[in-house]
Structure 1
Amino acid sequence: MQALNFYVYFFSSFLLEDWLFTLNTIFFFKYRIISYTIHSQKLTYTFPVLRNTGKSLAVDTKGYQSNKVRCYSTAPNKTTFKDFKDITADVLNSLLRNQGVSITEAELAILKHIPGVRFDLPLNDQTYPSFESLVGKPNTRGIKAGVYIFTHKATGAKYVGSSNSLSRRLDQYFTFKHFNQINSGLLIPLLKKDGFEAFSLEVFVIPDKLGLELNDSNNLNLNYPYLFLEQFYLLHDKFNLNTQRIVNFRVNQGKTVYLYSLYGKILYYCASSLSGIKGALGIHYATCVNCIKTGNSYLDFFIISNSPFEGAERTKLSLQELLELIDSKKKEALKKRTSVKFSKAVIIRKEGQEETLEFPSITAVVKYLDTTGIRVDRNQLAKYLDSGLTYKGYIFSKA
């Protein structure tokens, strides 16, 4: 038998700023996965993805988008609580201080009182309409933010997550798009093993008018209430399918975008990124960028800016009411553009003849030709203006 290629087991310990680390590294033979564990007075992290290449010790990053290794802790997390009453705004703020976000006790109380709606899984023909009514449809505007909780029925194990688009995120679970993730934590393997029928799902949708209740909130709270609520649940120890306990608010991953009234007196909407405002309001990235760069208005009714306007009052419209307002302004703008487009004076001449007729607008031309039994499309007619080409037996030009 070929001799096994063993390496040395070694032990070292050292004292660093009152932290006692014990480094235990056990090397097995070639290409065997090894365990690399750091024990401290407070936490235990396990790195299960180290490998021995035969030449040097390296991190196996195959399949990862970056070379950062996600660490899972199998030891009890000492930052968790058994009673929700102990999870206060001060506790959340102390954990999130480095991210530059905070919440007051009054704001947290409002979030905690958002009711959840429970669904047995998998969804069926009877429950899916209610689910869709609650979270909306994927890839549509008017997205709904919130928190979702998967509960394993047999064990009571829980997983909490959040999204600014619940319909999109949960659709990724139900269509198995999350199932191919490498290093997918604890929930996905359990879903694969036991199936959706072993779980229930509870959904907490952030109300459209929540910003009105958070009168003293800053802009971050206006954008991230669902993340604060997720952080609240994460700190309870019954959410033992979560492998990370601190929410990443990503406050530096995009510029805040504001939708104001034409003179900046009313703040209609605030999003943390261009994609956020597109997902919620359906305003395209290019439109936002153009309005921000040029200062041009949007639909002659709104201003889109990446700067906060001092003194602007927050709208009392719900998201749905805001969407309806935007739709009405789009129709007005389209009607105005159409009116301008077709109000040009037009001269028409029958092919082969010298006589001309002048009309005040394209619409008037269409009506005249209709009386002669000739049906024309005014959009097509507009394309033939000054082209010298014949359309329906006539040549058209601008007066």
Structure 2
Amino acid sequence: GCINHLDFDVLMSFTYLIFKNKKPISYNCLINSTNVYNFIYASSQNRAAFSNLAAKFATLAIEEEKWKVILGRTGPIQFAHKLANEHIKSKKPVTFTVVNKVLAYCNISITEEILNSLINAPSINIKKLDTKESQKFIKDNIGRRTSKIQIPGVYIFKNNITGEKYVDSSSHLALRLQGYLNYSSKPTGKFLPKLFKDKLSNFTLEIIPLVNNYNFRSEIVLEQYYLLDPSFNLNTVKVANNPSGSNARPLYLYNRDKTVLYYSSTQQTDFIKNLNISHFTFSKHLKKGTYYLNKYLFTRESELNAKVKDISIINLALQLEKDRKLFNKNKPINSLSKSVLMCSEAVNMQQDNKLVLPKLPVVRSGKESNFIKKRPEMLFFSIGKCVEYLRSNGHTATHTTLIKYIDTGKSYYGYIFKYV
């Protein structure tokens, strides 16, 4: 009969086969092997053991592929790793051109002036990392891990005894550094096992907060600059990691004068989904710097002295909904909200180059459309209502076409349209 093996026994059996074979044995090879099949599937207990072991091998295979991508041995940024390693071996100075070539995979491009400004950015140097005073100093300067305003930047650890260095960056410096200071990060790679073994007392820390207003993640650029320096020998990966593919800096929702911070995120979709703000409206106010609902400001510029509003996302969404209802009482119904005057070609509305508005029927809901039969002029509080009226009278009008005729001043269905 066949002996029932435990997981450990099965694992040892596989280990023996691997060493005896002296060649790499793939996961598929193990699964498809007839001898292994007969050996393992002789009993129900062995079948369960085999299933568990197969799952372990599958997990290891996935992890192996993931690390191949991270280390640049495969995947879409393999060429970036090749460029970085070639430059490090050349021992040539790092220029903005080299940085641009390596970071081309994430569409970041900088000038020499920008690189110089990042290199010369002020930094915070801390020598005694293991003291409470130092950790308090860090929190006072870059915030806490729970702060709504998270400062991006670069940090450099240096071993006081060996001189070995490690550089990394984060869009949330306080959150990232907390993992090092509390020894709560997973000890992988070259640096973290040394930090956990030698402790904080054997390292100095340089923090470079980056609060400029570049329209890309400047911390990735500065990290890449240092990664191309051979002296940073504790870094296994030589290309700045940007797994999300996003180059955008964090976004903030303030009041008009930026004294109160309501919300922040690195993703536009968080504002759109969590706060029920349309993509068009959000993008328009962010780009133009105008005020949403006449009282809120979207921006990428952080204001470190702003008071953080203690409000949940749900309550903030409800607050914005109330503000929208109040704001919409005093604004035209349609989003294309410029008021439009429609008058017949026979009416002369120009006196001394000034527009004269007679007493006109005002259309808000479209119910007054019969007024056009009595009067040759009409005032609409939005382009949408004007289009709605024209369509109700059998004309195939569109927003785009109407705007074109307003801009050109040409007649459209026998009428002249003007913004007022």
Q: TM-score by structure 2 length?
A: 0.49
Question: Whole-Å Cα distance in 2 between the matches of residues 35 and 109 of structure 1?
Answer: 53
Amino acid of the structure 2 residue aligned with 1:203: I
Shift of 1:67: 4.0
Q: For the structure 1 residues 112 and 195, does the alpha-carbon distance in structure 2 shift closer, same or farther, using more than 3 Å as the test?
A: same
Shift of 1:51: 6.1
Q: For the structure 1 residues 175 and 309, does the alpha-carbon distance in structure 2 shift closer, same or farther, using more than 3 Å as the test?
A: closer
1:152 aligns to 2:152 (yes or no): no
Question: Whole-Å Cα distance in 1 between the matches of residues 225 and 234 of structure 2?
Answer: 15
Question: Whole-Å Cα distance in 2 between the matches of residues 52 and 306 of structure 1?
Answer: 50
Asked if the contact 1:227–1:247 (Cα under 8 Å) also holds between the matched residues in 2, the reply is yes
**Alignment match, 2:203:** 199
Question: Whole-Å Cα distance in 2 between the matches of residues 34 and 324 of structure 1?
Answer: 66
| Structure 1 counterpart of 2:87, from 58, 79, 84 | 79
Shift of 1:228: 0.8
Amino acid of the structure 1 residue aligned with 2:182: T
Shift of 1:101: 1.2
Amino acid of the structure 1 residue aligned with 2:117: I
**Alignment match, 1:30:** 17
Q: For the structure 1 residues 186 and 262, does the alpha-carbon distance in structure 2 shift closer, same or farther, using more than 3 Å as the test?
A: closer
Asked if the contact 1:148–1:201 (Cα under 8 Å) also holds between the matched residues in 2, the reply is yes
Question: Whole-Å Cα distance in 1 between the matches of residues 62 and 138 of structure 2?
Answer: 33
Q: For the structure 1 residues 289 and 125, does the alpha-carbon distance in structure 2 shift closer, same or farther, using more than 3 Å as the test?
A: closer
Shift of 1:96: 1.4
**Alignment match, 1:384:** none
Question: Whole-Å Cα distance in 2 between the matches of residues 107 and 100 of structure 1?
Answer: 16
Asked if the contact 2:158–2:164 (Cα under 8 Å) also holds between the matched residues in 1, the reply is yes
Asked if the contact 1:33–1:52 (Cα under 8 Å) also holds between the matched residues in 2, the reply is no
Question: Whole-Å Cα distance in 2 between the matches of residues 237 and 118 of structure 1?
Answer: 21
Q: For the structure 1 residues 171 and 310, does the alpha-carbon distance in structure 2 shift closer, same or farther, using more than 3 Å as the test?
A: closer
Asked if the contact 2:251–2:299 (Cα under 8 Å) also holds between the matched residues in 1, the reply is no
Q: Which has the larger radius of gyration?
A: 2
Asked if the contact 1:114–1:204 (Cα under 8 Å) also holds between the matched residues in 2, the reply is yes
Asked if the contact 2:227–2:238 (Cα under 8 Å) also holds between the matched residues in 1, the reply is yes
RMSD (Å) for aligned C-alpha atoms = 5.0
Asked if the contact 1:61–1:67 (Cα under 8 Å) also holds between the matched residues in 2, the reply is no
Q: For the structure 1 residues 197 and 30, does the alpha-carbon distance in structure 2 shift closer, same or farther, using more than 3 Å as the test?
A: farther
1:117 aligns to 2:130 (yes or no): no
Q: For the structure 1 residues 96 and 54, does the alpha-carbon distance in structure 2 shift closer, same or farther, using more than 3 Å as the test?
A: closer
> Whose helix fraction is larger, Structure 1's or Structure 2's?
2
1:290 aligns to 2:275 (yes or no): yes
**Alignment match, 1:177:** 184
| Structure 1 counterpart of 2:96, from 89, 94, 108 | 89
Q: For the structure 1 residues 51 and 236, does the alpha-carbon distance in structure 2 shift closer, same or farther, using more than 3 Å as the test?
A: farther
| Structure 1 counterpart of 2:191, from 187, 192, 214 | 187
Shift of 1:137: 0.7
Q: For the structure 1 residues 87 and 253, does the alpha-carbon distance in structure 2 shift closer, same or farther, using more than 3 Å as the test?
A: closer
Shift of 1:231: 0.8
Query: For residues 124-151 of structure 1, what are the alpha-carbon distances to aligned partners after superposition, in whole Å with 9 as ceiling and x for unaligned?
Result: 1332221111221111111111111111
Question: Whole-Å Cα distance in 2 between the matches of residues 105 and 160 of structure 1?
Answer: 21
Asked if the contact 2:272–2:279 (Cα under 8 Å) also holds between the matched residues in 1, the reply is no
**Alignment match, 1:162:** 169
Question: Whole-Å Cα distance in 2 between the matches of residues 259 and 34 of structure 1?
Answer: 59
Q: For 2:67, what is the secondary structure of its paired residue?
A: coil
| Structure 2 counterpart of 1:239, from 215, 232, 240 | 232
| Structure 2 counterpart of 1:100, from 91, 100, 107 | 107
Question: Whole-Å Cα distance in 1 between the matches of residues 21 and 277 of structure 2?
Answer: 53
Total equivalences in the alignment: 259
**Alignment match, 1:319:** 303
Q: For the structure 1 residues 129 and 262, does the alpha-carbon distance in structure 2 shift closer, same or farther, using more than 3 Å as the test?
A: closer
Paired-residue identity, %: 24
**Alignment match, 1:62:** 60
Question: Whole-Å Cα distance in 2 between the matches of residues 316 and 247 of structure 1?
Answer: 22
Question: Whole-Å Cα distance in 2 between the matches of residues 294 and 106 of structure 1?
Answer: 33
Question: Whole-Å Cα distance in 2 between the matches of residues 202 and 34 of structure 1?
Answer: 50
Question: Whole-Å Cα distance in 1 between the matches of residues 249 and 302 of structure 2?
Answer: 20
Shift of 1:276: 2.3
Shift of 1:193: 2.6
Q: For 2:185, what is the secondary structure of its paired residue?
A: helix
Query: For residues 156-206 of structure 1, what are the alpha-carbon distances to aligned partners after superposition, in whole Å with 9 as ceiling and x for unaligned?
Result: 111101111111001112222213x5xx21011212332222211111111
Q: For 1:69, what is the secondary structure of its paired residue?
A: helix
Asked if the contact 2:155–2:205 (Cα under 8 Å) also holds between the matched residues in 1, the reply is yes
Q: For 1:159, what is the secondary structure of its paired residue?
A: strand
Shift of 1:98: 2.5
Q: Which runs of 5+ in 1 are unaligned?
A: 1-27, 37-49, 212-216, 279-283, 296-302, 341-399
Q: For 2:132, what is the secondary structure of its paired residue?
A: coil
Q: For the structure 1 residues 288 and 117, does the alpha-carbon distance in structure 2 shift closer, same or farther, using more than 3 Å as the test?
A: same
Asked if the contact 2:145–2:175 (Cα under 8 Å) also holds between the matched residues in 1, the reply is yes
Q: How does 1:242-321 map to 2 (within 5 A)?
A: 242-250=235-243, 252=245, 275-276=265-266, 285=270, 289-293=274-278, 305-306=282-283, 312=289, 319-321=303-305
Query: For residues 301-335 of structure 1, what are the alpha-carbon distances to aligned partners after superposition, in whole Å with 9 as ceiling and x for unaligned?
Result: xx6x14676554897975125x34979xx9xx79x
